[in-house]
Amino acid sequence: MDVELSARSRQILEAIVEDYIATAEPVGSSAVARRHALTLSSATVRNVMANLEEMGLLTSPHTSAGRIPTEKAYRFYVDSLVALRRVSREEKRQIISHCRQSGAGLSGILKETSRTLSQLSNYMGIVVAPSFTSDVFRHIEFIRIGQHKILAILVSSKGAVQNRLIETDEEIAPEELIRMGNYLNEMMQGLTINQARERILAEMKSEKAQYDRMMSRALRISEQAVTVENDEIFVEGQARILDQPEFSDAARMKEIYEAFEQKGIILQLLSRCMTADGVQIYIGSETSLSRSAGISLITSRFVTSSNTVGMLGVIGPTRMGYSSVIPIVDYTARMVSRLLSEA
């Protein structure tokens, strides 16, 4: 698919893409000739543009308008044209300080990161927390809330906390809760939450559990506790998307917002990014988000000390400022990885 292009064609394509990114309006031959200070006349540029159109890199909304890049052009642009900007000192400062200032544990850091991404990119920031279930178990605690209610608190070795309210049929004495806790803490030592869950299910079937009342009860309750919800997702800066001119169309916007209210969609979308290293870029239909919407996605994964991976990135229109957003995402992912590995 990577077409051979002459140096000049590439230059012109680059100019068109960048112009369009800047203005969101179809760019014409003369604009390219002028702005880019090539020693070329508009007529020549026209010829080249006609070529590029034939190759499926440009389209014109109608005959007498300028041309706009196709998805293919963006792809080509990010693959081989874009000159990545450096992350400025100020941007670095913001990324780092925002990470640090948030004292509220993992969730806090990630939420803040999401906001930072949004601020720096002027698009939507998005962070998917590392899957809690593949994190290493650290501690479980039961706290009696009401007669038939127990709060189970589950802590991972990274300091992520999940809590769950559990209803019990019978009342459970405080001493028993403590014993249950001790028993389970020992049992799950060193396992990931996922493994712990399997272990519990296995134990429940064991012979011993059939006779030991306390044990069977403990297992039943902890099984609920360990069945944690979906991963956390942080999306910030939804308002910013309104800055983009092509989103003035309210109907389209609504589509996107609604997509984001069902976080499931995002998760599915992002799960693929988890496997690959480095910055991933999905353009338009590659995102498999609502086909029509012209959305692009730039992501990178980050890792934690316990080798679980999360995902962060930016969502914006296809014509987003790749040259600055890509480095920002990259840098942020590195910083978050480093910060979380310190622990």
Partner DNA sequence: GTTGGCACTCAAATATCACGAGTGCTATTT
Partner DNA sequence: AAATAGCACTCGTGATATTTGAGTGCCAAC
- Is residue 103 a contact residue for its own copies (CB under 8 A)? yes
d(C-alpha 240, C-alpha 256), whole Å:
13
3-state helix, strand, coil in the chain (%, to 5): 55, 20, 25
By a kind-dependent CB cut-off of 5 to 8 A, residue 27 interacts, out of DNA, its own copies, none, with DNA
Number of H helices, E strands in the chain: 13, 10
Residue type, 333: A
Among 53, 176, 231, 330, binds DNA (CB under 7 A): 53
d(C-alpha 185, C-alpha 249), whole Å:
55
Using the structure block, give the residue that is written with the tokens 């403590």: 178
Residue 90: how many CB atoms within 10 A of its CB?
A: 9
Q: Which residues contact 171 (CB under 8 A, 6 or more apart)?
A: 147, 148
- Is residue 339 a contact residue for its own copies (CB under 8 A)? no
Q: Which window, 41-49, 174-182, 267-275, 299-307, contacts DNA (CB under 7 A)?
A: 41-49
User: In 3D, which of 243, 252, 202, 246 has the Cα closest to residue 222?
Assistant: 202
**Smallest gap from residue 170 Cβ to its own copies (A):** 18
User: In 3D, which of 313, 303, 311 has the Cα closest to residue 343?
Assistant: 303
The answer to whether 127 touches 111, Cβ cutoff 8 Å, is yes
| 244 exposure class (CB count in 10 Å sphere: 0-12, 13-18, 19+) | middle
Residue 100: how many CB atoms within 10 A of its CB?
A: 12
CB closer to its own copies out of 3 and 143: 143
Q: By CB under 8 A, how many residues form the interface with its own copies? A: 36
d(C-alpha 43, C-alpha 29), whole Å:
7
- Is residue 158 a contact residue for its own copies (CB under 8 A)? yes
By a kind-dependent CB cut-off of 5 to 8 A, residue 303 interacts, out of DNA, its own copies, none, with none
Q: Which window, 57-65, 77-85, 96-104, 243-251, contacts DNA (CB under 7 A)?
A: 57-65
- Is residue 248 a contact residue for its own copies (CB under 8 A)? yes
Strand order in the sheet with 233-236: 233-236, 124-128, 309-317, 295-303, 280-283
CB closer to DNA out of 62 and 205: 62
Among 22, 65, 165, 202, binds DNA (CB under 7 A): 65
DSSP 289-301: SSGGG-EEEEEEE
d(C-alpha 1, C-alpha 56), whole Å:
11
By a kind-dependent CB cut-off of 5 to 8 A, residue 213 interacts, out of DNA, its own copies, none, with none
Site string for its own copies, 120-149 (x = CB under 8 A): ------------------xx-x-x-xx--x
- Is residue 201 a contact residue for its own copies (CB under 8 A)? no
Among 22, 24, 47, 214, binds DNA (CB under 7 A): 47
Q: Which window, 24-32, 188-196, 206-214, 332-340, contacts DNA (CB under 7 A)?
A: 24-32
Q: Which window, 63-71, 72-80, 132-140, 163-171, contacts DNA (CB under 7 A)?
A: 63-71
Interface residues toward DNA, by CB under 7 A: 8, 26-31, 39-44, 46-47, 49-50, 53, 60-67
Interface residues toward its own copies, by CB under 8 A: 103-105, 138-139, 141, 143, 145-146, 149, 151, 153, 155, 157-159, 161, 163-165, 229, 236-239, 242-243, 247-248, 250, 253-254, 257-258, 261, 343
